[in-house]
Amino acid sequence: MSKILLLSAGTRLESKNNKVAGIVNNYLSELEISCNLYDDFYENVPFLRDYNDEQPEYVIKVRNDLIETSKIIIFSPVFNGGYVSHLKNLLDWLSISFDNYSYNELFKDKDVAIISSVDGKGNNAKNAFDLLGAQLSNYGLNVYENFYLFNEEDKVDDLLTNDSKSKDFFSYIESFLRS
Is 138 in a helix, a strand, or coil? helix
pTM score over 0.85: yes
What confidence score (pLDDT) does residue 94 get?
Answer: 93
Domain count, the chain: 1
**What percentage of the chain exceeds 70 in pLDDT?**
99
pLDDT at 1 > cutoff 60: no
Contact in structure between 174 and 31 (CB atoms under 8 Å)? no
Reported as a single tens digit per residue, the pLDDT across 135-164 is 999 999 999 999 999 988 888 888 778 888
Q: What is the CATH number of the domain that holds 68?
A: 3.40.50.360
| pLDDT (mean) for 112-141 | 91
129: containing domain: 3-178
Distances in Å between the Cα of 48 and the Cα atoms of 77, 86, 98, 133, 136 are 21, 10, 15, 21, 18
